[in-house]
């Protein structure tokens, strides 16, 4: 299970952004190349292990978009992209997010109170973005049915759960150890 994802993680190069060890990977960066088979494997695993009894899939720009697209195509569930750009549409909700390597504003459109949503993202590492988006989804009044990050890195998952009270599911747990990505656990299906 998840052979392509695990292999691609183990082979991922590492770059430093300040004090942060950042792995460069097709799912998390779209670099160097997103192989269709890898994306399909990930989308099928997410679809299998997530509760998708929802009205909408929610993803975060930029690296959640390809995941939400693939899951949407498999399930016929529409998706909403939390964007980095202000549009000024009626009902737009601003979200301030801080991660281990960046800070900025995000904007949510297309969601209403009572919408049942599934939030998907590529990686949860520091937990800053996911925490900010979950808090915004709660302010909007959506029902957060499930949350999943494909890759869990560091302590971000625990941070999100502590800050929001929402369980975060993942497919794999990986960390950078001595300059290499080490896949510590396949977490898919573990609730």
Q: Does residue 172 form part of some domain?
A: yes
Q: Note the pLDDT of residue 100.
A: 60
Q: Does residue 191 form part of some domain?
A: no
Q: pLDDT, tens digit, for every residue of 31-66?
A: 989 999 999 999 999 999 999 999 999 999 989 999
Q: Does residue 120 form part of some domain?
A: yes
CATH code at position 80 = 3.40.50.2020
Q: Does residue 36 form part of some domain?
A: yes
What is the residue range of 180's domain?
3-186
Secondary structure (H, E, C), the chain? CCHHHHHHHHCCCEEEECCEEEECCHHHHCCCCCCHHHHHHHHHHHHHHCCCCCCEEEEECCCCHHHHHHHHHHHCCCEEEEECCCCCCCCCEEEEEECCCCEEEEEECCCCCCCEEEEEEEEECCCHHHHHHHHHHHHHCCEEEEEEEEEECCCHHHHHHHHHCCCCEEEEEEEEECCEEEEEEECCCCC
- Residue 189's pLDDT band, with cuts at 50, 70 and 90, is low
Q: Does residue 100 form part of some domain?
A: yes
- For the chain, the domain total comes to 1
Q: Does residue 129 form part of some domain?
A: yes
Q: Does residue 128 form part of some domain?
A: yes
- Residues 130 and 159 sit within 8 Å (Cβ to Cβ): no
Region 22-38 average pLDDT: 93
Mean pLDDT of the residues in the chain: 93
Q: pLDDT, tens digit, for every residue of 124-134?
A: 988 999 999 99
């Amino acid at each position: 299970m998840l052979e392509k994802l695990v292999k691609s993680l183990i082979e991922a190069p590492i770059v430093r952004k300040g004090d942060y060890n950042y792995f460069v990977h097709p799912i998390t960066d779209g670099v160097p190349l997103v192989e269709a088979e890898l994306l399909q494997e990930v989308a099928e695993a997410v679809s299998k292990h997530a509760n998708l009894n929802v009205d909408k899939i929610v993803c975060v720009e930029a690296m959640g978009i390809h995941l939400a697209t693939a899951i949407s195509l498999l399930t016929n569930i529409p998706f909403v992209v939390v964007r980095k750009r202000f549009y000024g549409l009626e009902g737009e909700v601003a979200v301030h997010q801080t991660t281990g390597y960046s800070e900025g504003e995000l904007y949510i459109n297309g969601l209403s109170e009572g919408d049942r949503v599934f939030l998907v993202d590529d990686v949860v590492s520091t937990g800053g973005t996911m925490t900010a988006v979950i808090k915004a989804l709660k302010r909007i009044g959506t029902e957060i049915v499930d949350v999943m990050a494909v890759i869990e890195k560091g302590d971000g998952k625990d941070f999100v759960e502590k800050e929001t009270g929402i369980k975060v599911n993942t497919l794999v747990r990986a960390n950078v150890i001595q300059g290499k990505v080490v896949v510590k656990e396949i977490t898919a299906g573990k609730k």
